[in-house]
Amino acid sequence: MPEIKRSYDNNGEEVIEVDMHPKDILHNPILNKGTGFTEEERIDLGIHGLLPYHTSTIEEQVERRYANFRSKESEIDKYSFLMALQDRNETLFFNLVSKHAEEMLPYIYTPTVGDASLNFSYLYNQNRGIYLSYPFKDRMDEMVARIPKERVDVIVVTDGGRILGLGDLGVGGMAIPVGKLSLYTLFGGIHPDYTLPVLLDVGTDNPGLLSDPLYLGWRHERLKGAEYQEFIDLFVKAITKRFPNVLIQWEDFSKQNAQPLLERYKHHYCCFNDDIQGTAGVVTAGILAAIKGTDSDLKHHRLVIYGGGSAGIGVAHLITRAMVKDGMSEEDAKSRIFVLGRNGLAHTKSEGLDDLKKRYAQEAIVIEKWGVKNMQNISLHETIEHAKPTILIGTSAQPGSFTEELVVEMKKHVARPIIFPLSNPTSKSEALPEDLMKWTRGQALIATGSPFPPVEFEGKKYTIGQCNNVFIFPGVGLGVIATGAKRVTDNMFLRAAEVLSRFAPILNNPFGSLFPRIKQLPVISKTIATEVGKVAIEEGVCDHPPEDVEKAVEKAYWQPKYPKIKRKK
């Protein structure tokens, strides 16, 4: 492996010494500056004949690349342009996107990343991250040993089993870890050289992929049971042996696997599941913001969650913790949370309830008093009619399921209903914000999973906040890494939600958004990281806690500036 030595000078500037062939330097996205190499660097590194004469400032390069970006017409072309830039010059990529974050975020993540995942085998033109395929399971240690990095702080790993609301996309799921880690760097300041996207290829049950001659993954039905678990165990043991202090983020695993994997590993390794805990954190933040913005109290609210998978149950779990912290008993808190799955409302006499929904099953003796026709399939409308919720969360991937009739019924019982259609991508959203505003006469408090434009109603313009996990996980990750925390706890996500809710525009405007602007994220992430670090110390999960958490966070936060690069003597 070519030698790369990283240090910092007295001014805190990054200095990298290399022992590499000139062309290898230009082909390394961490080292490459393109036309940004100084004359001194070009001579020292032996690249002065490989570049045009002019030395560009990074501002000039950003201007040039932004013009290129704007010339692309389709969403997927803009995505491909940005990914190609990232593979060529990471510092320039992050500098460009940080300056145009609100414009570019939809192209490096949702909703465009969904199309990238669907077409991954056709778009593939790079080798970012590692692919660990089941047929090579006996070579796991060997594959992990060959990862060309000496340090990894955070891994995002998926098996492609449930990509957004699109289902099993097999190896196409790699677009998600790549995108999520870009957000870790962009908004959490995690050095891009210390991140690693991982795809665990355990097959696919998607018939279209299995029959596609250009599909790049292992063409085999998806593994289940003991074989699947053995493979995941091999990965966890090998990767934590190579990188013992790494933070692992589980991403887009199926409902059947997400919660069991989290429960299996979270007490022994530094890991969390963003679909469960990250989603719960950002949804809780949105709810707390709505409650603060309307001068109400959490204990007076009732919550319906339409979609009883891992994300929905994660929301139920964190909201329960928030209610208990607010002074309620756990039993009372759970009595205010109604979870619906494929067979309707979960209650204690529901047939075939999985373990997730059993935790939030309503007492049947209470539900029987509703007088519904079929206790084994209580509909969303029946639940809203009888439970009279103030909050409605959609994690169902069932587009259009929040109908006008249903929303009007909800509005009968609450002046300003809190409605979050969260399913991604946009095509899977349970309702359109425009319709929700019309049906509630401009009174709904709305947040969505995918970005939507502002809505105009009766002369007023409403900004629709995006309930995006990017508001939570970069800050949590930064706090864990900066303090050297050995575990990720639920209280870290609850604290992160509380911090995020304090930035909501609705606190200053009763019709403002529930979530801040994307451009505020660096400040928000640092604030979350500082509070998460304090929780880590309070809960005793740091072996060597820093004396000043805020300073530790600031020191760990990477900025997209070119380092000084020189040849190792």
The dotted CATH code for 110-273 is: 3.40.50.10380
**Residues 320-327: what's their mean pLDDT?**
96
Query: Binding site residues for a divalent metal cation, as ranges?
Result: 251-252, 275
> Which are the catalytic amino acids?
109, 180
DSSP sequence for 166-188: S---GGGGGHHHHHHHHHHHHHH
402-419 pLDDT, tens digit each: 999 999 999 999 999 999
DSSP sequence for 347-388: BTT-TT--HHHHTTPBPHHHHGGG--S-TTS--HHHHHHHH-
Query: Binding site residues for (S)-malate, as ranges?
Result: 162, 424, 468
Query: What class does CATH assign to 278-470?
Result: alpha beta
Domains 110-273 and 278-470 share a fold: yes
**Residues 99-112: what's their mean pLDDT?**
93
Domain segments of the chain: what residues? 4-106, 110-273, 278-470
What percent of the chain shows pLDDT beyond 70? 99
- Distance (Å, rounded) from C-alpha 68 to C-alpha 96? 12
User: Does residue 2 register a pLDDT over 60?
Assistant: no
Nearest Cα neighbor of 176 from 111, 104, 226 is 111
User: Does residue 1 register a pLDDT over 60?
Assistant: no
In contact, 393 and 304? CB cutoff 8 Å: yes
Cα distances from 326 to residues 98, 308, 350, 525, in angstroms, run: 37, 24, 30, 25
pLDDT at 511: 86
Indicate the pTM of the whole model: 0.95
pLDDT at 510: 86
Query: Binding site residues, as ranges?
Result: 162, 251-252, 275, 424, 468
435-460 pLDDT, tens digit each: 999 999 999 999 999 889 999 999 99
Structurally, at CATH architecture level, domain 4-106 sits in: Up-down Bundle (1.20)
Residue 387 confidence class, pLDDT cut points 50, 70, 90: very high
pLDDT at 451: 86
